[in-house]
A and B are shown apart, each in its own frame.
Chain A
Amino acid sequence: MNKGQGLEAWLAVAEKMNPGFEIEDFLRQEREKDLLRFSTAGSVDDGKSTLIGRLLYDTQSVYEDQVRSIEGKGTTAPGQIDFALLTDGLRAEREQGITIDVAYRYFSTARRKFIIADTPGHEQYTRNMATGASTADAAVVLIDASKGVLIQSRRHAYIASLLRVRHVLVAVNKMDLIGYDEQRFREIERDFSAVLEEIAADTGNPVEAAFVPVSALMGDNIVHGSDAMSWYEGASLLELLERLPSSVDTRNEAFRFPVQRVLRPDATFRGFAGQIASGTVRPGDEITVLPSGRGAAVERIVTRDGDLAEANAPLSVTLVLNRELDISRGDLIVASHAPATVAKSLKAALVWMDQKPLALNRRYLLKHTSQTTPAFLTAIEHRTDIGTLAHEAAETLEMNGIGVVTLDLLRPVAVDIYGENRSTGAFILMDTESNATVAAGMVTGARSHTGSGDSSGTALTGPVTARERAVRWGHRGGLLELSGTKELIDRVERSLFSIGAVTARINTGDEPFKTRPSLVEMVVKQNVRSGFLVLVAAPLESGRLIARAEGQEISLNANNADEAIASIRGLLTRAGILRATDSVDWEI
Chain B
Amino acid sequence: MSIFEINSQVSAKLDEVRAVLAREVTGKGDVCLTCSFQAEDVLLTKLALELDAKIPVLFLETGYHFKETYEYRDRIAREWHLNLINLLPEKSVSEQEAEYGLLYQSAPDQCCKMRKVEPLFKAVAGYRVWLTGLRREQAKSRAALEESALFTLPGGRQVLKLAPLAAWTTRDVWYACEELSIPLLPLYARGYSSIGCEPCTSLPLDPNDPRSGRWAGRKVECGIHIEGAPAQ
Which positions in A face B, CB cutoff 8 Å? 548, 550-555, 567, 570-571, 574
Contacts and interface: CB of A to CB of B under 8 A. Distances in A.
B61 interface: yes
Nearest to A573: B126
B88 A554 contact: no
A166 B114 CA distance: 67
A166 B61 CA distance: 65
B224 interface: no
Contact of B123 (A552, A567, A570): A552
A551 B90 contact: yes
Given A548-B88, A551-B119, A567-B83, A574 B126 contact: yes
Nearest to A571: B85
From B84, B86, B89, residue with most partner A Cβ within 10 Å? B86
B84 A551 contact: no
A548 B90 CA distance: 12
Contacts, number: 31
B87 interface: yes
Contacts of A570: 29
B77 interface: yes
Interface string B56-79: 000001000000000000000100
B219 interface: no
Given A551-B89, A554-B86, 6 more contacts: A552-B85, A552-B88, A553-B85, A554-B83, A570-B29, A574-B123
A555 B84 contact: yes
Contacts of A551: 87-90, 119, 122-123
B86 A553 contact: yes
Contacts of B119: 551
B83 A555 contact: no
Interface in B115-161: 119, 122-123, 126
Contacts of A553: 61, 85-88
Given A570-B29, A574-B126, A552 B83 contact: no
Nearest to B61: A553
B128 to A, nearest CB: 11
The 3 closest A-B pairs by CB, nearest first: A553-B86, A551-B88, A574-B126
A236 to B, nearest CB: 58
Nearest to A576: B126
Chain B interface mostly helix, strand, loop or mixed? mixed
Contacts of A574: 123, 126
A554 B122 CA distance: 16
Interface of B: 29, 61, 77, 83-90, 119, 122-123, 126
A567 B86 CA distance: 13
Contacts of B88: 548, 551-553
A548 B83 CA distance: 14
25 contacts: A548-B88, A550-B122, A551-B87, A551-B88, A551-B89, A551-B119, A551-B123, A552-B85, A552-B86, A552-B87, A552-B88, A552-B123, A553-B61, A553-B85, A553-B86, A553-B87, A554-B83, A554-B84, A554-B85, A554-B86, A555-B84, A555-B86, A567-B83, A574-B123, A574-B126
Contacts of A567: 83
Contacts of B77: 555
B82 to A, nearest CB: 9
Contacts of B86: 552-555
A552 B122 CA distance: 10
B135 to A, nearest CB: 27
A430 to B, nearest CB: 24
A271 B61 CA distance: 57
B119 to A, nearest CB: 5
Contacts of B90: 551
Nearest to A549: B88
Contacts of A554: 83-86
A310 to B, nearest CB: 56
A314 to B, nearest CB: 46
A4 to B, nearest CB: 59
A274 B90 CA distance: 52
Nearest to A570: B29
A551 B86 CA distance: 8
A571 B87 CA distance: 12
B45 to A, nearest CB: 16
Nearest to B86: A553
B148 to A, nearest CB: 24
Nearest to B123: A552
A554 B84 CA distance: 6
A294 to B, nearest CB: 39
A551 B29 CA distance: 18
Nearest to A551: B88
Nearest to A553: B86
A552 B59 CA distance: 9
Nearest to B118: A551
A541 B30 CA distance: 35
Contacts of B122: 550-551
Contacts of A548: 88
A401 B90 CA distance: 49
A519 B192 CA distance: 44
Nearest to B89: A551
A164 to B, nearest CB: 38
Contacts of B126: 574
A553 B119 CA distance: 12
A548 B29 CA distance: 19
A422 B181 CA distance: 64
Nearest to A557: B81
A447 to B, nearest CB: 27
A296 B156 CA distance: 50
Contacts of B123: 551-552, 574
A21 to B, nearest CB: 74
A546 to B, nearest CB: 9
Contacts of A571: 85
A487 B199 CA distance: 40
Nearest to A574: B126
A220 to B, nearest CB: 58
A567 B61 CA distance: 19
B114 to A, nearest CB: 11
